[in-house]
């Protein structure tokens, strides 16, 4: 199960791996720079939803009057 998750993280370039010269050990290291596009995407949708909720709040306030 862990190997499937690690494979997905490698494909997304969120981790890098290095195999030991001897034995079966593999060392993994996080690649936080690869999160940049995801952070940008979340920021974009955060702005979108904040605007939409502000608009909804205005409509609801108008309905109360």
Tell me what pLDDT residue 60 has: 96
Could you report the per-residue pLDDT of 5-44, keeping only the tens digit for each? 999 999 988 999 888 777 788 899 999 898 898 889 999 9
CA distances from 61 to 47, 52, 55, 58 (A): 21, 14, 10, 5
Largest CA distance in the chain: 75
Comparing CA positions, the residue from 42, 45, 38 lying closest to residue 13 is: 38
Tell me what pLDDT residue 65 has: 83
Q: Where along the chain do its domains lie? A: 1-30, 32-65
Tell me what pLDDT residue 5 has: 93
Tell me what pLDDT residue 38 has: 86
pTM score, whole prediction: 0.50
Residue 45 confidence class, pLDDT cut points 50, 70, 90: very high
Coil, strand or helix at 21: coil
Structure tokens at 18: 């290095």
């Amino acid at each position: 199960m862990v190997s499937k998750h690690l494979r997905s993280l490698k494909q997304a370039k969120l981790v890098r791996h290095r195999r030991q010269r001897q034995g079966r050990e593999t060392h993994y290291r996080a690649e936080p720079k690869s999160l940049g596009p995801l952070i940008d995407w979340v920021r974009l949708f955060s702005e979108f939803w904040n605007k939409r909720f502000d608009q909804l709040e205005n409509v609801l306030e108008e309905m109360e009057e």
